[in-house]
Amino acid sequence: MQLETLQEIIKKKINKSEFAIITNLETGDSEIFELNKPTGKNFEKYKDQINGFYKNKKNGIIENTNIFVETYIRPIKVVIVGAVHIAQYLIDYAKSLNFEITVIDPRGYFATKQRFPDIKIINKWPDEAFKEIDTNSNTALIALTHDPKIDDPALQHAIKKKFYYIGALGSKKTHNNRCERLKNAGYNEGEIDSIKGPIGIKLGGKSAPEIALSIIAQLVSETYKK
The CATH number of the domain where 155 resides is what? Answer: 3.40.50.720
Mean pLDDT of all residues in the chain?
A: 92
Residue 221 makes CB contacts below 8 A (sequence gap 6+) with 201
One domain, residues 134 and 172: yes
Count: domains in the chain = 2
Domain boundary among 19, 51, 72: 72
In a domain? residue 60: yes
In a domain? residue 5: no
Residue 62 makes CB contacts below 8 A (sequence gap 6+) with 46, 49, 50, 53, 68, 69
In a domain? residue 141: yes
Q: Domain range holding 44?
A: 10-72
Tell me the mean pLDDT in the region 203-212.
Answer: 92
pLDDT at 1: 64
Domain boundary among 72, 96, 122: 72
Q: Is 97 exposed, middle or buried (0-12, 13-18, 19+ CB in 10 A)?
A: middle
pLDDT tens, position by position, 56-67: 888 999 999 999
Q: How many beta carbons lie within 10 A of that of residue 105, not counting itself?
A: 27
Domain boundary among 72, 92, 112: 72
One domain, residues 91 and 36: no
One domain, residues 125 and 37: no
pLDDT tens, position by position, 97-152: 889 999 999 998 888 999 999 999 999 999 999 999 999 998 999 999 999 999 99
The larger pLDDT score, comparing residue 81 to residue 205, is at 81
- Alpha helix (H) ranges present in the chain? 3-14, 47-55, 85-94, 126-129, 148-160, 172-184, 189-193, 208-223
One domain, residues 58 and 102: no
Tell me the pLDDT band of 18, cut-offs 50, 70 and 90: confident
Crossing angle of the two packed helices 172-184 and 148-160, in degrees rounded to 10: 60
List the helix and strand counts (H, then E) for the chain: 8, 10
One domain, residues 155 and 51: no
One domain, residues 100 and 35: no
One domain, residues 64 and 174: no
One domain, residues 131 and 211: yes
Q: Tell whether the model's pLDDT for residue 164 goes beyond 80.
A: yes
